[in-house]
Amino acid sequence: MNKSVLNNYFHSLFPIEKEIVVQITEKFTSFKLHKNTVLIDKNEISSKTYFLEEGYMRSYILNEDNEEVTTNIYVAPCFVNDFLSFFKQQPTREIYQTITACSFWETSLENVQSNFHNIPEFREFSRLLFVINYHKLKDRTIEMASQKAETRYLNLLEQNPNVFQHIPLKVIASYLGITDSSLSRIRKDIGKY
């Protein structure tokens, strides 16, 4: 596989020279996973970071009733990882699973650390990536606390309309913090307009 999607992702977030991006991504290797495959399991220590080139993923936890609660949905292209587990080398509390067949690029913690120490542009890109991810997490927290389920649904529909074609409604309902039947009712009510 060629690294054009991976390399373009770096360029899309930060003005960075082509040669520097090639240097950053030279030790990334590609792999594919089938639908419904676990990428990182609960209590596993993440030793690699992953770039999702193609496909859809989710992270989820099991609540006290042993029900799956989706904590995030990942739409390519993006980086996917439990960054606390990766950088602090501690066990993850979530499960990261493919929803569709997925294509990835991966690299090790050692390679990331080497890039941090040797490539100033990578440090700046990483800082920006952390800020973007923090912003998304903060927005999601505020959205879950302040918006009605219907508003959260409409926001997801506006931001990622293709999600509904690739992700089971049960997963979407869980991500929105509602039951399957509530999601069905919301979709039915909105269809009336």
Average pLDDT over residues 26-54: 95
Enumerate residues 6+ apart whose C-beta is below 8 A from 134: none
- CA 138 to mean position of chain CA atoms: 15
Residue 193 has a pLDDT of 42
- Give the integer Cα–Cα distance in Å for 104 and 93: 22
- Give the integer Cα–Cα distance in Å for 73 and 56: 7
pLDDT for residue 41 is more than 70: yes
- Give the integer Cα–Cα distance in Å for 101 and 44: 22
Type of residue found at 16: I
Fold of the CATH domain 4-118: Jelly Rolls (2.60.120)
Question: pLDDT, tens digit, for every residue of 119-139?
Answer: 998 988 888 888 988 999 899
Q: How far is CA 117 from CA 28, 33, 114, 120, 151, in A?
A: 17, 31, 5, 8, 43
- Give the integer Cα–Cα distance in Å for 118 and 56: 32
Where are the chain's structural domains?
4-118
Closest among 129, 121, 128 to 17, alpha carbons compared: 121
Sheet holding 102-108, edge to edge: 29-33, 102-108, 48-54, 78-80
Q: Which DSSP state fits 39?
A: E
Closest among 61, 60, 74 to 167, alpha carbons compared: 74
Question: pLDDT, tens digit, for every residue of 66-110?
Answer: 999 999 999 999 999 998 899 899 999 999 999 999 999 999 999
